[in-house]
Structure formats: C-alpha cells, structure tokens
Structure 1
C-alpha cells in the first residue's frame, strides 16, 4: 500500500483512467464547479496534458497559436488516453479552454466516429458586480439541469450541501499541505502531487488527513515561489528542485489557488459566489490584484525568489510581471521572468543566474 505520500504520488503519476463504476465527467479549467458533479453522483476528473508528447492531432483542429498544453489535452482526448470519459465539462477560464470546447463540440457534430464525449461549456464570469452574480446563477442553474439529464439524479439541496462540505474540507486539507511545504516538510513536486492526485474527493481527503503523520522529510534549498502559467504536471518543479531550489508556493490553479476561498454556506447561491470571486488568475484578474496577491503569497511562503514562468502562447502572465516585480521589491524579494517556454520545460539559465 505504501505511505499516504507514496500513494498520493502514485495516484498523481497514474491519473488516468480513474477506476470507478460511477459516471466519469472530464473537467477542463478551474471554473468547473466540481461540487455539483459530485452532488449528481458522478466523479469529476480534471484533464491534464502530456509534456513532450506529439500534439499534431490537437494542433490540426486548434492551430499552432493555442497553448501547447491545450493542444495536448485535445490530442489525448482524440487518442482515448484518459480512459472512460462519459461526459466533458469545459470552463471558460481562458481563451484556450474556450477554443477547446468549440473544437470538441464541432468534432462531435462532423466526425461522430471519433467517439468524443458530449461536452458542455461552464461560463462563469468574474466581475465584482451583482449583475455578474445574477448571470452566473442562471448559468449554474442550467448546469444543474444538464447534470441531472446526464446522470438521471436530482440535485437536491441536501446533496449540494453535502458536496460543498466535502470540498470545503478538501480545501482545508490542501491548505494544510501548503503549510507542510512552507515548513520544508514537502517538496514542490510532492505538494503538486498531493493537490492533483486523481481520486474521488472522499478518498483524496482520507489520504490528505493521514499525510502529516506519515514520516515526511526535511528539505532545503533556495526558496522559490512560482507565478505565471499553470502547471498540470511536475516537470518544471522537478527541474527547479534538481537545480537546488525548492518550490514553496505558487499562485496557479493546479496548486495553491485550489485551496483558496471556501464556500460561505452550503447553498447553491453561495457556491456561485465562490466561483465568481475565486482567483486571481492571470487570464481574468486585474494587474494590480495579481501583483498584490503574488507579493502577499510570496511573503507568507518565505520565498527568496519569485519566478514568473510563462509558456509559449500563454499571453496573459507577462502583462502582470512588471507590477508583480515592483510589489515584490517592496519586500526585498527579487523576481525573474522566464518567458516563451516549451510546455513542461524551463530554461534555468535566467533563474540560476539571478
């Protein structure tokens, strides 16, 4: 069986397929309300790309101008690499995700023999206005109807409340993982695996609860905070840590952002507001908000260096960097921009030479 950490690392390395007899719903992006998927009796599985693998099939339909990570996700969908996916939810968290949704929907229409799952767009807006909340509430209501049709289950208030409770506990446990990493008890690679292990939420929570008492190590190195593009795999973290750094935090949506902002109450309306105000991510938050959040988080992590890592065709993060660097200077924390990187790779020259 192994220790809880070993089991989390194993589930992260072997994310697909997920073994379950329930309906499996693939999820793309941070804005998919997984609580509703679980309340409907299905298992949400967030889809990651595969660095270093050929993306020709995905590029055929998305073009070369889309982030390679998204091209990889479509390539893996076309190849059936995720195993059984009964349905697909794609959030409008960035332009690349939106283009993926339209590509899958059109491919189902014109090439049904490809066997792609039925897909639905989760359209969550993030402006801090009551009109935005009203818009999102309508969209969530429509998603409830779709999930009920897909699963044959009724999303009762009790089922929604129970799922919200499970995921609020999940977020609390992930914040404990972040605390272990800040205390040098976990590496960045290990923490990323603890966050991203592909497990039903109840099983994931069980392993996370057992993690602090499972004989963790003590790690040292120059403490790095990562901002910029998200990381759905450990390759960049591993490269940094093999070079003598230790990743103590990040502000992307496969890491610490998953643990932020619990739901205020066990209701659908509270869930709507949680996703409306979740963030801030580079694709949808103001530059000032991003800078303030990055500086606050880096200070909390005791970071000695902030690295803004940006993949090719991920255009939003470089706009944030000057304000982030200025905010960090006020705390005596240097920052470097590593731009136009290949998916899953990092040019360490600019980082090691800082």
Structure 2
C-alpha cells in the first residue's frame, strides 16, 4: 500500500474542531465547514447489533438507518455538537423524526441538536427556489448553534476547498479505469474525505494522485456496481475476494458523491444559490432520479471505466434500486447480474456464485 493511501485510510484522526455529524449526501457540507465545524458523515456498521435502532424505527426499513441510530445512541461517533439529516431517502426522513422526538420526550438522551435539510431534485426553477430557502435556513440554524454567523468569506473558502476535494476524488476515480485502485480502496478514500477536514483531505488526495500512476494494475475481472449504496467496505471486499474488481459505481458513498462542483458565483450574494443548485442537480441517486436518468448514467459509467460487466446489488428493504435494473442492464450492453434482497454488508454465497457465472457470459444483443 502506498504511503499516501495508508495516510488516508488511517482511522486514528483526532478532530481539531467541533464535529457536525451529517446523514446523507444532500447535506451542504460547505456550510458546516464555514460555520467552524468538522463535517463527519455518519456510517452504519453491519458488524454491530442494531436492535435498538430497529425497535425505535420499526420494521421494514433499510438496516443502515437502524444501525446509524443505534450507534448514535451508543455514542459511537464521539461527541457531536450538531447533527444535520438530509431527506435523501425515506429511511433518512424517518430517522430524523425519531431523533427529533427522542430529544423532545427523552431529554436525558445524549443526542445533539438536529436539523433536517430537504433537498429536492426536480429540474425546475421553482425547485431551485425551494432548495435555496432550505440552504439559507440551514445556514441560519448553524449560525445560531455556533454562536456566530458564517461570513461570505468563510463560505467562499469552504466552497473552493470542497470543490477541490471533489475534483481530486474524480481524478482518483478516473484512474480506476487503469486499475490503479481497487474498489475497496476507493471506498475507503471516499469515506476518509467525509471525515477529515477538507483542506487535509485535499493534501492527502493530491499526494495519492502523485503515486497512483506508478502503481501496478490491480487484478480482477472489471465490473461496474449499481444498486444500493455501501457505507462499509464489506461487500466490496467480498466481491473482490471472489475475483472481481469494482472499477466504478453509481452510489453516493463512491463516485456519485463527487460528480458535480459548486463553482464560485460572480459575487458573494450568489453563494447560497450556487449551493442550492449544486445539491439540487447532484445525482442521479436511485431514490430520487428517473429510471431513464439512472440507466444513461450507469451506461456512461460502464464505458468510461472500461468495465467488462455490470453488477447490481440491492440490499433488503432498499426498494428503489431494483426499479432501475432492467433499463440499466439494457443500456449497459455488457454481461450483467443482479443480487437482490442482500443482507446489510454481506453477499449471499449462492447468489454470488450465480452472479460470477453470469458476469462472464457474453451479453446477447437486443
């Protein structure tokens, strides 16, 4: 492992500022940084018992949300000054309501103040105005919690730095077409970028990009992964341990997180609007985009990463990705296999054996 990659994947990072936990890729992290917080994206853990989260959230819900709630109640993320939840899916929305109610009825529970940011993704100016209002509302709420407003200079600097991180992640992702990173490694790199200060992430990512071109290609049958998101490396490690190499994906814990930038507007008055437009048009994520958008995006990813096959992975109680599968498979034009109703953080062995055989079978032209 290269020195830069080892530094990025090192979990022993001590926060140097108050931590703002956030849930979902629709949270404008630039506002958290500008307010003086360290943004920390909260991930679940398939290795820990999530019974308490299931009890509070109810059955039939994506197990990631149950795991995050259980870990929050156990203090697994360390001290959080604030918590921001995006409405990126129905599980996140239900999680927000439960957190808000717990703070109301059980004030002794060690939960931070929580705020919902509702970002819509329709391609309309009315949607932009709605999201713009939500961005301004989050900015005002953070100023109240931090005890000071985040000035335009602070926000402009945060936008520049986070855009730089996204650009570096895209550059690292592009090198996966040359097999310079495994999918498991890239997932760890993205996770590090959501837990480190943005300027530190940029420094480490730049060092990684200096080293990657000289790295020997990673082995494995190159596949593009679609379906549910992955907030832990377990599924990727299983797939790559079985002889695959994940060269790209269309979920927001991977390539999709860094697809678009904010960009600097002509003047500081446009910063909130620029943020609103970036998060409105970010995607296309399975719960919020059309089937046609998802199919076109996935097919483009298969081509750009020189993937030899398309693999769909759909976690139990995560219904949206399965709706896109038929169109994605048809658009990709490569051998394809679907793993449905998979346990959180795992792959059914029998299903994996079947998928491996299908992924190496030549696609039949429509």
Query: For 2:154 and 2:244, how far apart are their aligned partners in 1?
Result: 44
Q: Which of the numbers 34, 42, 47 marks the counterpart of 1:52? A: 47
State the distance in 2 between where 1:135 and 1:228 align: 28
Among candidates 299, 304, 319, match of residue 295 of structure 1: 299
1:73 aligns with 2:59: no
* Cα distance in structure 2, aligned partners of 1:166 and 1:22: 17
Alpha-carbon offset, residue 153 of structure 1:
2.4
- Whether 1:10 and 2:5 are equivalent positions in the alignment is no
Q: CA deviation at 1:98?
A: 0.2
**Structure 1 residue 147 corresponds to structure 2 residue 147:** no
Q: Deviations over 1:219-275 (max 9, x none)?
A: 121101111000011101100111111110000001001111111324221111000
Q: Give the aligned CA root-mean-square deviation in angstroms.
A: 1.2
**Which stretch shows the higher mean deviation, 143-152 or 257-266?**
257-266
Question: TM-score, structure 2 length as denominator?
Answer: 0.92
Q: Which moved more, 1:336-345 or 1:210-219?
A: 210-219
- What is the count of residue pairs matched by the alignment? 345
User: Where do 1:261-272 residues align within 5 Å?
Assistant: 261-266=260-265, 267-272=271-276
**Equivalent in the alignment of 2:210:** 213
Q: Equivalences for 1:254-265 in 2 at 5 Å?
A: 254-265=253-264
Picking from 301, 304, 307, the partner of 2:308 is 304
Does the 8 Å CA contact 2:44/2:71 hold for their aligned counterparts? Answer: yes
**Deviations along 1:259-308, whole A, 9 cap, x unmatched?**
11111324221111000000000000000000000001111111111111
Aligned residue for 1:225, secondary structure, equals: strand
Write the distance in 1 (CA, Å) between the matches of 2:331 and 2:107.
51
Q: Which runs of 5+ in 2 are unaligned?
A: 266-270, 359-366
1:10-52 deviation per Cα after TM superposition (whole angstroms, max 9, x unaligned): 23xx6xxx62242211000010000011111111100000013
Q: 1:237 to 1:178 in 2, by over 3 A?
A: same
2:281 equivalent in structure 1: 277
Equivalent-residue separation in structure 1 for 2:29 and 2:84 (angstroms): 10
Greater alpha carbon shift after TM alignment, 20-29 vs 95-104:
20-29
